[in-house]
Structure formats: structure tokens, C-alpha cells
Structure 1
Amino acid sequence: MVSAWAPQIPDGDGPLYERLVAALRADVASGALAAGARLPPQRDLAYRLGIGLGTVTRAYVEAERAGLVSAHVGRGSFVNAPADHRAPVRDGPINLAQNIAPTGPAASRLAEALARLRRRPDLLEHLAYAPAAGHEAQRRAGARWLARFGGYDGATWSRLVCCNGAQQGLALAMSVSARAGDTVLCEASTYNGVKALAAHMSLRLKGLALDDEGVRPDALEAAAKATGARVLSLIPTLQNPTGRIMSLARREAIVAIARRLDLTIIEDDIYGAYAPDAPPPLALLAPERTFHVSGVSKTLGPGLRAGFLVAPSQAAFERVLDAVRAVTFAPSGFGGLVATQWIEDGAADQIVAEVRAEATARLSLAREILGAAIEAPRSDCAPHVWLPMSELEAERLSGRALRGGAEVTPPDAPIVEPGLVTGVRVCLGAAPDLQTLRRGLETVAGALSSEVGERSRAVI
């Protein structure tokens, strides 16, 4: 049946056909246009809206390129199901182990972004080696991203280095701040990528005790004095794995200690987009000593490998460039160019808004199913939840969940200092849809019930 679709075309400076595609996307996302609905014939829609037939034809072509609709000769154009935009579902247990953003919002815009790239005057420049810091357009876009989604207003693009993902940004910051054998301070349980970097670079990690706001100042000061460490690696916003957020007062206390003891700070702000109300980053509070690392992997898509590193000084920036030239010579051009296109044309704002909305729905489901077992999330769109428990209980829960068909983050993956901060991280974004996520969370809830039952029997 032909839809009586009569969209409200948004105002704006963009071409009319692009705004018509935006209206189509919005109506698909809201459910006003159901999957399988047949769009009106182009001539009919043009008459209905009082616009040119060529404009409607161009919009339908762009919508097909973006994957929003499928056109069939002699039959018309039909709205694709949301599943058409999903990444392939992997075999095996439900993935609650990886922090991956829902892919639909970015996937539905990818073809459109690639079409726009063809019209960029700097497109062919990206076939050549980029400068060691990356192309200027991408560096400027990176600074806009940090300001828009990380609260890093005034990030200096001239000291920003484009990286092949935030992980490379962390590696570059570590490589110019510490030498083999040095001690690096970090959270007692932290991002496993930091542990991997430390092992690869022969660094010693010293885990610091946490409270509800993250690293405790007294623990930081004591460990720095005891070890002589000069580098502090932190995730102050939606800390991985606990999801805790440092208050402004806590950030200021950490910065005061770092200044007094002359510590270099490496700030991982990869989850900043999921906490729009978080306090300002450490890089704003202590710009003279903070390497700030972020990227688009947790929102726009990890396959873009677009990360950003802002160095605290020109001298540090030059050392980072030396490291880039030694290891990769230059950052990759095209993944970052897609991210740049989205940041420049506003699609990034739309994608992040949709990812946040989906994350909010997924977190609500986790609260419903796991209840008091999860530590209170610090953001309504947090991408993972934390179930505090002993390391032994965590191992048992992980095993039961896996046997039931759901994989959570391995409990030992984040642990740096055993016995201080232990539990199970459950990631909410990788499941392909809410129905699959529900099944996975119910499996974890069942494993929790079994754990409680065993402890009760042990008491008797």
C-alpha cells in the first residue's frame, strides 16, 4: 500500500533535497514510516509538497544510497527495516563484553557521507601521506568534537594529533611520558588497553584505590611518593569498568596533587559523549601537564579509527610527532575523513543524539532486569554498568552467564591491584537490538540468582 507520507521539511541552509532526506530519516526513526512502507511516487510527492520533481528524485536517490529505502523498478521505493542497518550478528553467546555503540545511526548515514566525500575539494589529498599530525581539516574537526562532546572548550587544534583510534593516542602519550621500567599510576581496575600498553612497553602499573568518585586523592599522593612515579593515567568520566564520574572538586584535588608532585596526566575521555553533564576535563584544569585522548570509536564507529590526542605543550607535541614518524609515519586518512565530514555537516550531532537515546533505553532495561545488583549509573545514557562483588564471585558469575549464553567482560581483565575494586562489567551496546539485550541481561540475572543461592546454602 502506498504511504500518504507528507513530511515536514526542516528549515536550514542545506539543499532542499538533503533536508527532504533528513525528514525521511527522522520519520523512519520515529516510526511514522514503518519498515516496508511504500513511499509516494516522486511526481505525487513533488505535487503534494509544492517542490520540483528533480528535487524529490534526487532525495529518493540519496535515500537509497544511505540505505534508508530500497527502490524496485516498476514497484516503487520501500522503507528498509532497521535491521538492514545493523552490523552482522556474531555467532556464539550474546555479547555483553565489549563497549560497542549501536551501529544503526551511523550505518544509515554512511552511504550519504561517502557520496558527499566525492564533492570535497581536498578528497584527492588523502591519497598522499598525511602530515604526521594529520590533515588540518581533520585536526580542526577533532577540536570541534572535543568541545562539542567532551566539554573541552578551546582545545588547541594546532597541538592536536590525529590518531588511528584513541588506543594509539594513549600509546603515543605513554611513549613520550615514560620509559621502560618506570611506574605509571592508574585506577586499581582500569581499561584493559592500558594494561596491554604497560606490558608491551615494560612499564609497571600501580593501581590506586577508588571511591564513589574515582581515584582517592590520599591514595594518589601516597603511591606517588612511595613509587617515585611521574605519570598518572586516568579515566575521570564514566570510568572503565566502574562507570564512576569524578566531581569537579575531586578533579581539582587530583590536579593540585599532580602539580605539587609534578605528575604528567594522561586523560582518557573516550566516554565523554555519554556524560554531557560531566565536569570539565582535566585538560582544562591542568592544561600544562595533561595529555588529553579521545575519539569517535564509542559513538560514530570503531572502524573509522579516528582518535585525537592533544599535547600539553609545543615541546610535547613535537615529541609525539617524532613517535608518529617512527611507528606509522602518518595517520590514516580516509576513516578520519568520514568522521570529519560528519562533524562538519552536523551528522555527528544527529548520530550522537540517536546513540544516546538508544543507550538510555538500554540502560533503563538493565536497571529493570538487574535492579540493585548494579552500582547506580552516573549518567542516564551510560554504555556499561558495574556489578561490584568479590573476584571469586565475579568469576563464578561470568562462568554461569557464559554457560547460559551471555558473555560479560572477563572479571580479571581490568584488575591492576587485586582486592581493591572488583566486580563484573556488563556492556549494553553490542547486542544488536533490545530483544537480544533483554535475553542477555536475563541470563546475567539468572546467574546472579544462582550465586546468591549458593552463598545461602554455604551458610547452613
Structure 2
Amino acid sequence: MAWTPTIPDGGAPLYERLVAVLRADIVSGVLAPGVRLPPQRDLAYRLGVGLGTVTRAYVEAERAGLVSAHVGRGSFVNAPAEHRPYERDGPINLAQNIAAQAPAGARLPEALARLRRRPDLLEHLTYAPPAGHETQRRAGAAWLSRTSSYESVDWRRLICCAGAQQGLALALGAVLSPGDVVLTECLAYHGLKALALHSGWRVRGLAMDAEGLRPDALEEAIRATGAKVLAVLPTLQNPTGRIMSRARRDAIVAIARKHDLTLVEDDIYGAYADGAPPPFAMLAPERTFHVSGVSKTLAPGLRAGFLVVPAAETFERVLDAVRVVSYAPPAFGGLIATQWIEDGSADAILAETRDEARVRMAMARELLGPAMETVYAETAPHIWLPMSELEAERLAGRALRGGAEVTPPSAPVVEAGHESGVRVCLGAVPDREVLRRGLEIVASALSSEVSERSRAVI
């Protein structure tokens, strides 16, 4: 059947919307490489649009590398650029936690076209206020309220950041000095470890169980170190994917209030966990910095992060740090994120991204199920394979030699001797078939490890 797309409504010119649909259908696989597009006159007739609209869309599509035009033969679909590197070089990327980019990529051309027509565009070439423009702060608060269990976010306490990593740096920098101890899980986000090393903070990793951080381990560490700050990821913990129950969160809050502990809460994966308990920012708003953003839900290249601070005096202290480090948040990524949040595109992108994540999780279950830890959300963007440190290093090496790269097993380890394993990320590979090949390589590496252990037993 000839390609007859449905062109969405929108403010962009009709030909740009047609190109956007073409791009989305190529990336998603609806149009396979080598497929011949309909003749321009035929497509114009079926869509009920002018021939000039289709002609201009085909010209723009060729200029963007989406299609190749041949005189007398027609226009043919090219392989998506984001697919081609896997055909040429490098291992399959199962190491980075990146959401599938097709949903955002399909809407980017129209977003850029709208950006170009904004009457206030030139105003964004100068410095923004240190906390970000009010429209972007309001949009950030609305996004947090819509996509997590964080209800009624106060935009006046929200600071726009260059990604959640900067939000984490600003929050911890506001309450820590060089030499201070920051508590966290024994397995934690590698970016936190790197930030602590760069800033001269000492990191203490605490024991975990099936719900994440253990309250008894927190109590013990506070008594032993006198630490006043806990950095924690309670929802879809990185790397294990665990989710703290409401009772566990209440227990952590009680300990924090007892010892006057500041909480720095990373909620970057909150949008992937349906029905998660309220965040610490709701349970203990007087002592919680809440960090999130759009890198894992919309696109990391936007560099749009959000930091909600607990009090007015802290807000001003953080703004002083913003002025020193970056003076203001980046403008244009925040503008696109705000457009998408306000017009509903962000919700559609997230829904499609979650749908894709669900398909990929099912694939991981099929190929790696027996080795996987319990999956706490079917739309989680990564899985955790628990095993000893030695087994994890062997598995990573075997997988890499086979052509797939997993997260280095040492990357999340804060405190050796507790837990270990391998994180496998499911979203960075743009093509499902390439992902399947990568997961099959990991499965083969796992089988080799089991066989080797069996041979070692005499």
C-alpha cells in the first residue's frame, strides 16, 4: 500500500509537518530503507494538498538526508542516520541510559519552526534571570506535577538548570564544604561519585535491600560520621531499579528530622514509575532539595533540568552559585521543552517513550529473564543483573568482546563489599533489532560464565 501519512495539526507550515511525519515513519520503521515514496502528484492528490507543498517537502527531506532522489526513478528512503553507525563501527551501546529518541525527533522540526517564528526570540539571545524565565519555571513545575507523584510544585522555589546534573551539583554545593561527608546508597549514580570527587566531598555508601536504602544503615552512618546530607534516588534507583515504599520513605524522613539531615532527592526516573509513593519533597519539604529534568523523558540534548529548593534563604544561596558557575540557564533547550510542555507534545513524547520502553523491557525479559533482578516498573529504561564483582567484570569483558558494551560494573559502586552486578540500558540503541542482537550477546556471555563456573567445580 502506498504511503499516505496523516499530517498533524500545528502552527508549522504544512510542508514542514509533512517532513516531520516522514522522518518519524523512517525512524520508527514504517518506511524501510530503499522504499520508493509515492510520486509527488499522487501523494498531493491523496492528501488533498497542493503539489507545491509535497514538492517542497520532498526537497527538504532530500536536503535533510531522509531520502535520495533519482531523476526518472523517484525518491527512495535512506536508512536513518542514527541507525547507520551501528552498521559500521563500535560496540552496541547498552551502557548509557538514554531514552529512545524517535518520539522527540519526530517533533523537533516543528518545534524549531515555531521557535523561529517567536516574536520574543531575540530577547533570549541575552542572559536569562539566574533562576530562568518565569514561563519556563512554571512549565517545569507543571511537568513535575504531571509526570511524578510530586503534587502542586511551587514554581517560585524552582530553578531551571543545565540538566539534572547541574541541579545535583547546585543542591549539594549549597550544603556541603570540601571534606564533608555525603551519604548515599552503596550502589549509586556514577555522576554523583564524579561530582563528589571533583568537589572534595567524601562519599559513604550505605547498605540496601529490595526497597533501596536501609534505615538502620542510615542511622548507623549518621552516628559514625556525623554526616548532615543524604543524596538518594528513591524511585527506580540507579542502577538497581528499586522503588522505596511509602513506609520506607516515612522511616527515612523520621531519621532525617531526628538528626537534622538534609535530603537531596534525585527523581529523574519518576515519570517511568506509575503509582510511586510521594517524593521526599512532599513528605519533608522543609529539608529536601528535589532534582529532576527532561533528559530521561524527552531528550538529553535539551539540557533542561529543574531544582526545587526547600527555603527562601537557600534559594538565594543557590542563585549565587548559578551566577558564579553559569550565570543563567541555557535558553533554547528550555524554550523547546517549555513549548512541548505547554502544547501537550511532551506528554505525547513521554507516552510513546514509555510504550517503547515497555516493548524493550519485554525483550530483555525474554532474553535475560532468569538473570534479572525483580522489575519494579515495566517501563523502566534499564535492568540490573545482580552477581559478584568478579562475575560482573567477566561478563562485561565477554560482552564487549562479543560486540556489546554494558555499564562498567565498577561505575556505580560506592562501597565495595555490599552489592554488585551489571546494569544493562535499553534505550540508547535506536533500532530494536540491534538491541536484540546486543541482548543476545549479553545472554551468551552469561551462559559462558555459568559454564565456566560449572567446569570449575570438581
- State the TM-score, normalizing by the size of structure 2: 0.89
Choose from 316, 331, 336 the match for 1:338.
336
1:211-269 CA distance string (max 9 Å, x none) = 11111111111211221111010111111111111112211221121122211111111
**CA 435–183 in structure 1, closer or farther in 2 if over 3 Å, else same:** same
Distance 1:125-1:265 versus aligned 2 partners, 3 A rule: same
Partner of 1:168: 166
Alignment partner of 1:83 out of 59, 80, 83: 80
1:403-425, Cα deviation, whole Å (9 max, x unpaired): 22211111111111111121111
Q: Quick one: structure 1 residues 237 and 183, their matched pair in 2 at CA, closer, same or farther if it must change by over 3 Å?
A: same
Residue matched to 1:457: 455
Letter in 1 for 2:37: R
- For 2:62 and 2:228, locate their aligned partners in 1 and report how far apart those are by CA, in whole Å: 51
For 1:422, the equivalent position in structure 2 comes to: 420
| Distance in 1, Cα, partners of 2:152 & 2:15 | 31
Mapped partners of 1:438, 1:6: distance in 2: 29
Return 15-24 or 178-187, whichever deviates more. Answer: 15-24
Counterparts of residues 146-157 of structure 1 (less than 5 Å): 146-157=144-155
In structure 2, stretches of 5+ residues that fail to align are: none
Paired position in structure 2 for 1:5: 4
Contact 1:85 1:107 in 2 (8 A): no
What is the match of residue 306 of structure 1? Answer: 304
Please give the alpha-carbon distance, in whole angstroms, between the structure 1 residues aligned to 2:199 and 2:350. 34
Q: Is the 8 A contact 1:185 1:229 kept in 2?
A: yes
* Compared CA separation, residues 72 and 344, structure 1 to 2 (3 A): farther
Corresponding residue for 2:127?
A: 129
* TM-aligned CA distance change 1:193 to 1:27, over 3 Å: closer
1:27-426 correspondence runs (5 A): 36=35, 38-39=37-38, 41=40, 53=50, 60=57, 64=61, 70=67, 80=77, 83-84=80-81, 88-89=85-86, 91-426=89-424
Letter in 1 for 2:80: A
Give 1:190 shift. Answer: 0.2
Q: Which amino acid aligns with 1:316?
A: T
What letter is aligned with 1:145? W
The C-alpha deviation readout for 1:125-168, integer Å capped at 9, x for no partner, is 11001111112222122112211222322111111111111111
Distance 2:166 2:362 in 1: 33
Alignment check: 8 A CA contact 1:68 1:80 kept: no
> Percent identity among equivalent residues?
62
Distance 2:293 2:115 in 1: 20
Label 1:261 to 1:54 Cα distance change in 2 as closer, same or farther (>3 A): farther
Residue-pair matches, total: 455
- Per-residue CA deviation, residues 322-354 of structure 1 (Å, 9 max, x unaligned), is 011111111111122222222222221222122
Letter in 2 for 1:102: A
Q: Check if 1:441 corresponds to 2:439.
A: yes
Q: How well do the aligned residues superpose, as a CA RMSD in angstroms?
A: 3.1
What CA distance in whole angstroms lies between the structure 1 residues aligned with 2:457 and 2:339? 60
CA distance in 2, matches of 1:251, 1:127: 43
Residues 260, 93 of structure 1: alpha-carbon distance in 2 compared, 3 angstrom cutoff? same
Letter in 2 for 1:414: P
Relative to structure 1, the CA distance from residue 74 to residue 66 in structure 2 (aligned partners, 3 Å threshold; closer, same or farther) is: closer
The Cα of 1:203 is off from its aligned counterpart by 0.9
Report the Cα distance in structure 1 between the residues aligned to 2:253 and 2:341, rounded to whole angstroms. Answer: 31
- Taking the aligned partners of 1:228 and 1:175, their CA distance within structure 2 comes to 18
Unaligned 5+ segments in structure 1 are none
